[in-house]
Amino acid sequence: MSDAVKLGKRIRALRLKLALTQAAFAERLGISTSYLNLIENDRRPCTTALLLTLASTFDVDVRTFAGGPQVQLAADLAEAFAGPMFDEHPLTTREVREFVDAQPDVARAVLRLHHAWVQAHDSLDALAVRVSETQDGSPDLAGPGRVRMSSEQVSDYIERHDNHFPELESEAERLWRDAALERENLFPTLARYLERTHGVTVRIGTVGEMRGAVRRFDPLRRELLLSEVLRRGSRHFQLAHQIGLLSGAPILARAPQDPIFTSDEARTLARVSLANYFASAVLMPYADFLRAATTERYNLELLGHRFRVSFEQVCHRLTMLHRPGGEGIPFLMVRVDIAGNISKKFAPGGKPRLPRFGGICPLWNVHAAFTQPGIIRTQVQRFPGGETHFSVARTVRRDAGNFTSPPVMYAIALACDIRFARQIMHADGLDLASAASVPVGLTCRTCERMECQARAFPALQRSATIDENVRGVSFYAPVDAATG
């Protein structure tokens, strides 16, 4: 039976709202109680004639039973139930729709409650960001009542360790020695090591065989399939990643037990993230990579060619160079999609406190990078507190290798304190002392620049005052009242 004729729960909701028994309701409609019971349980369709009788008898709009606002209500509620708060209580679209049909008023109340929670949650997050900017140390954003996604928990764990894990660096160096790896023959040497130590054979699989995956490991057959669409550097990365998972480095077993992780999903994601770290350390050995980065003055694209890795992998590796006595430049990194959603982020020492979800200030060059795909854009950024950063940004593209699957484009920004800019070749030619810096913030909710033309939301510390007769540079920018 199609949804178009499944009106039973809506009819039952109307009857209960009118406080009528089935017998009384059926009598007024001129049908039997048993037939009404079948209709309410969606075992009989509600005919057009009966629907018109119902509408005229009880003075209700017949469109109420044809979807309309209820369809939108179900969609809004389904979106709310898709949030991290309900991860342990997943609801299907059908269950949500049935709930809305049966109890529309209660559904509206639940949705309103959820909206109030989201607003309070966002304000708490924004306030926490401001606290972290004015006090020593970072506040605990995982306080009572806060619901955190698995990705947030892993991000907090990595940030707590300053994105540097000495044990994994040592494991990567040991692999180079034990496997006698050769940079120009990295794939065959890694594959031989995997087969010799773990009995795993490596094979390149077709797109159809991979069924949407780029790496697929079969523990029973001891076979690792890598997609044919992966380029050389990505194949190396996936091989090293699998070795990291199978080698069972102590930290991969120990780290997921950290109390910061509250679900199996978060613990698994932590293992995956640490295995990715290990793979980066294998492809770009710490000492060699730091030496090359320093010698070549952080020429991002040249480093990618030298180590046979992607632009994104180079940027990510540069955020890991925090070995005592052998540090690189402390870089901030953020990756966004074309809608501004943040999918990867790291700030040294947790400052500035980057927002957990999209999006960051629209004036950052990471957004402008989408206007010139593949071109590195530079920017000198000035934050409200007076800190000045030098930033480079460029787009990266993810291809599925299949015409029917459109590519996905991201933009990555790598930034550091302005005092390090002269060590970076991308800053050559810029008069950093007098260069026009762009006034940026983190998010509109926490930014103090009330006059910003790009402001999209009112600031947390100042309520919006809307005057229908006066318009400022942006809708939420304050203006003086007109005089004279």
Indicate the angle between helix axes 232-247 and 264-283, nearest 10 degrees: 120
- Alpha-carbon span 271 to 154, nearest angstrom: 9
CATH number where 61 lies: 1.10.260.40
Residues 155 and 273 occupy one common structural domain: yes
Question: Is 129 among the domain residues?
Answer: no
b/e map 39-77, b = 16+ CB within 10 Å: bbebebbbeeebbeebeeeeeeeeebbeeeebeebbebb
Question: Is 366 among the domain residues?
Answer: no
Question: Is 456 among the domain residues?
Answer: no
Residues 96 and 209 occupy one common structural domain: no
- Alpha-carbon span 175 to 197, nearest angstrom: 11
Residues 79 and 15 occupy one common structural domain: yes
Give pLDDT, residue 150.
83
Q: Could you list the residue range(s) of the whole structural domain that residue 270 is in? A: 148-283
Task: Among 93, 110, 127, identify where a domain stops.
Answer: 110
Question: Is 470 among the domain residues?
Answer: no
Q: Which residue, 203, 233, 202, 229, is CA-closest to 214?
A: 229
Residues 184 and 262 occupy one common structural domain: yes
- Alpha-carbon span 423 to 416, nearest angstrom: 11
Question: Is 222 among the domain residues?
Answer: yes
Give pLDDT, residue 454.
81
Q: How many domains does the chain have?
A: 2
Q: Which residue, 402, 437, 398, 443, is CA-closest to 417?
A: 437
Give pLDDT, residue 205.
92
Residues 105 and 182 occupy one common structural domain: no
Residues 159 and 236 occupy one common structural domain: yes
The ranges of the chain with pLDDT < 50 are: 1-5, 129, 131-146, 481-484
Question: Is 403 among the domain residues?
Answer: no
Residues 96 and 163 occupy one common structural domain: no
Task: Among 283, 309, 336, identify where a domain stops.
Answer: 283
> What residues have CB less than 8 Å from 243, skipping those under 6 apart?
175, 190, 193, 194, 198, 278, 282
Question: Is 312 among the domain residues?
Answer: no
The predicted-structure confidence for 86-127, as pLDDT tens digits, reads as follows 666 677 767 877 787 778 888 888 888 877 777 676 666 555
Residues 103 and 152 occupy one common structural domain: no
Give pLDDT, residue 402.
61
Residues 241 and 181 occupy one common structural domain: yes
Task: Among 110, 138, 158, identify where a domain stops.
Answer: 110
Residues 180 and 89 occupy one common structural domain: no
Which amino acid, residue 77? L
Residues 240 and 184 occupy one common structural domain: yes
C-beta neighbour count of 193 within 10 angstroms: 20
**Residue 202 β-bridge partners:** 224
As to burial, measured by CB atoms within 10 angstroms (0-12 exposed, 13-18 middle, 19+ buried), residue 98 is: middle
Residues 103 and 156 occupy one common structural domain: no
Give pLDDT, residue 200.
95
- Alpha-carbon span 348 to 121, nearest angstrom: 25
Question: Is 123 among the domain residues?
Answer: no
The answer, as to whether pTM is greater than 0.95, is no
CATH number where 224 lies: 1.10.10.2910
